[in-house]
């Protein structure tokens, strides 16, 4: 994902701390993670769910991007639960 700058929401910082995810892992995911979902109607900016693997574990990062400034805002970060996600961590399991 192309970002001019990256900021972290308070929520994202709290989740990073709770889940032991470093800023470097987040930045790696933004730079080279795979887009697994787009949410064009999110407000105030469209967002994208990214997947990458850090420390041999899957990582999801939700990033909102302001198209005019190309600034990115990390909304949340989590390790996807295998009970909720398929083996590829890209597809949500049906409930």
Number of domains in the chain: 1
Average pLDDT over residues 70-94: 93
By the 10 Å C-beta count (0-12 exposed, 13-18 middle, 19+ buried), 10 is classed as exposed
1 burial level (CB within 10 Å; 0-12, 13-18, 19+)? middle
Under DSSP, the state recorded for 75 is E
What CATH number did the domain enclosing 39 receive? 3.30.2310
pLDDT in tens, 27-71: 999 999 999 999 999 999 999 999 999 988 999 999 999 989 989
Domain hosting 16: range is 5-78
pLDDT value of position 61:
97
Q: How many helices (H) and strands (E) does the chain have?
A: 2, 5
Q: Does residue 95 carry a pLDDT above 80? A: no
> Has residue 17 been placed in a domain?
yes
85 falls within a domain: no
């Amino acid at each position: 994902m192309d970002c001019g700058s990256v900021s972290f929401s308070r929520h994202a910082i709290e989740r990073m701390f709770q889940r032991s995810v470093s800023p470097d892992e987040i930045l790696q995911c933004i730079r080279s993670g795979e887009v697994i979902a787009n949410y064009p109607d999110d407000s105030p900016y469209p967002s994208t769910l990214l997947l990458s693997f850090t420390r041999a574990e899957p990582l999801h990062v939700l990033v909102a991007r302001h198209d005019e400034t190309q600034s990115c805002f990390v909304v949340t970060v989590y390790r996807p639960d295998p009970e909720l996600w398929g083996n590829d961590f890209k597809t949500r399991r049906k409930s």
